[in-house]
Amino acid sequence: MSTEDEEARVDELFALASIYSEDEFVREDEVSGGKIHLCLELPSNFVISIKSNSATNSSADNFEDIVSFLPPIVLNFDLPPGYPSTTPPNFTLSCKWLSPAQLTLLCQRLDDLWEENKGSVVLFRWIQFLNEETLDYLNIKSPYEIEVSGNGVQDWLQSPDESLTDGVLLERGALDRRAIQDAQSVPALVQCILDVNEAQQKKDFDRKQFLCNICFMEKSGSECTDFKACQHVYCNYCLKDYFEIQIKDGQVHALNCPEPECTSVATHAQVKDLVEEQLFSRYDHLLLRSSLDLMTDIVYCPRPSCRTPVMQEPDKTMGICTACKYAFCLYCKTAFHGLSPCMVSAERLVELTKEYFAANAKTKREMLKRYAQLGKAVEDAKNKEWIQENSKPCPSCKSPIQKIDGCNKMTCTACKQYFCWICLMILSQEDPYKHFGSGLRCINR
């Protein structure tokens, strides 16, 4: 064993551990080797699709989305005693989204790079190639489609045709044993792609610097939150204050992007990460309450100390609270009164009267039958409407006066005051007709 080789191996592994994070480079303790996980950054708006060629193919087996990152290419290696002077590293290449044929081409290229750099450490050159040149070398462009067979991996060996990748012809059965596609199934591959893309985007976001347009200070992405729909970024400190003020005011639907006229809304998880637990509970409760208010088959227990949501059963007039067991009338919200008509408060009666005039004939009959006080309230409302349309108030005592015939000099039947029907001016008791004389505004009208 060469001392120079051993020192070169130790230095190369030490350098890898210094450059890459623990989740990117895993050192094998018992051997001179490890694993490198390489997540390729894709061009912007890169479309990835998965199509199963299984005989039982269904819509659940197909997927298409825009992603920025894909699951890593894993270089698993160990450095033999003769490396780097005479012997290349032993390695395997595994990936979930590259075919065995594509991985075989990458293995062949790594072999070529070793031959070109024989006698020198080669791992960094391999990593550089896989990171920066894989897409071009395999001619992978958007949109890129992965065809997956029913058993979860591409069935290249059983293909009746030879595989052509980037102009390189691979004879059937000529796949490299070091090339491993480890996708287990279409759903598992789809979930892996989504998880990796989200995690890598978060890491990329955390490393960048952003200017918060509230405090106008530059912060790292790890101290900021971005609104997914609009991509506006604000620091967590400012957003926390903004969200807490809105929640305290009960404005749970106003947790939107602070950018003027922007309609992007914070996600549930973003709110939970930023505000205190007590305020988040309030936010969660108010959000649920507002959602329930939009449901026509939900009523609330009328007891002020309870207010539990109660599901309204079709064609039933009684509701029973699941929390306090209170039985109540679904219409008047008082204790259940069987077949007896509902008795309601004056405020509720005003609301019911408005509902009555807006309802159809069938609903009107049902409402009059259900509410004992509604008939008189409807009649009073009709009388009031008729009086408003057919009379004018006396300018002195405000009594409604109807003009049947005669001139425009009116006498109030209640207070006996003279007034003009046209302009409602109070007239002189001594000479009420002076108001209609020559040159005055109500003459000959």
Q: What is the CATH number of the domain that holds 251?
A: 3.30.40.10
8 Å CB contact between 72 and 39: yes
Cα 135 to Cα 82, 131, 176, 270: the distances in Å are: 32, 9, 19, 34
* Residue finishing a domain among 168, 199, 230: 199
Phi and psi, residue 136, nearest 5°? -70, -40
* Residue finishing a domain among 262, 293, 324: 293
If asked whether residues 81 and 224 sit together in one domain, one would say: no
Q: Which candidate in 407, 412, 415, 442 is catalytic?
A: 407
Cα 97 to Cα 105, 124, 136, 190, 396: the distances in Å are: 14, 23, 16, 10, 90
8 Å CB contact between 330 and 318: yes
Q: What is the pLDDT of residue 351?
A: 81
Closest by Cα among 295, 215, 287 to 246? 287
Q: What is the pLDDT of residues 136-183, one digit of tens each?
A: 999 999 888 886 654 444 443 333 334 444 444 444 447 899 999 887
If asked whether residues 40 and 166 sit together in one domain, one would say: yes
Flag the least confident range among 20-24, 104-108, 113-117: 20-24
Cα 237 to Cα 203, 246, 268: the distances in Å are: 20, 15, 18
363 domain residue, yes or no: yes
194 domain residue, yes or no: yes
288 or 415, which is more confident?
415
- In this prediction, residues 297-323 reach a mean pLDDT of 81
Q: What is the pLDDT of residue 61?
A: 57
If asked whether residues 358 and 265 sit together in one domain, one would say: no
The CATH code of the domain that includes 90 is: 3.10.110.10
Specify the pairing of strand 163-165 against strand 168-170: antiparallel
Q: What is the pLDDT of residue 318?
A: 85
* Residue finishing a domain among 167, 199, 231: 199
Q: What is the pLDDT of residues 44-55, one digit of tens each?
A: 889 988 876 554
- In this prediction, residues 304-313 reach a mean pLDDT of 82
Confidence check: pLDDT of 304 > 80: yes
- Give the chain's domain count: 5
441 domain residue, yes or no: no
309 domain residue, yes or no: yes
Confidence check: pLDDT of 302 > 90: no
If asked whether residues 115 and 159 sit together in one domain, one would say: yes
396 domain residue, yes or no: no
Collapsed DSSP state (helix, strand, coil) of residue 78: strand
If asked whether residues 75 and 142 sit together in one domain, one would say: yes
Confidence check: pLDDT of 294 > 50: yes
Closest by Cα among 80, 85, 79 to 4? 85
- Residue 407 annotated in active site: yes
If asked whether residues 140 and 125 sit together in one domain, one would say: yes
If asked whether residues 179 and 87 sit together in one domain, one would say: yes
The CA distance from 304 to 308, in Å, is 10
If asked whether residues 52 and 69 sit together in one domain, one would say: yes
37 domain residue, yes or no: yes
For the chain, report the end-to-end CA distance as a whole number of angstroms. 125
300 or 346, which is more confident?
300
Whether pTM > 0.75 for this model: the answer is: no
Residue 300's DSSP bridge partners are 309
Range of the domain at 124: 3-199
Q: What is the pLDDT of residue 256?
A: 85
Dihedral sign from CA coordinates of 401, 407, 408, 413: negative
The CA distance from 113 to 371, in Å, is 90
If asked whether residues 57 and 109 sit together in one domain, one would say: yes
189 domain residue, yes or no: yes
If asked whether residues 42 and 191 sit together in one domain, one would say: yes
Residue with tokens 């989504």: 194
If asked whether residues 52 and 126 sit together in one domain, one would say: yes
If asked whether residues 382 and 287 sit together in one domain, one would say: no
- In this prediction, residues 233-258 reach a mean pLDDT of 86
Percentage, residues of the chain above pLDDT 70: 86
H/E segment holding residue 33:
strand 33-38
Phi and psi, residue 364, nearest 5°? -60, -45
397 domain residue, yes or no: no
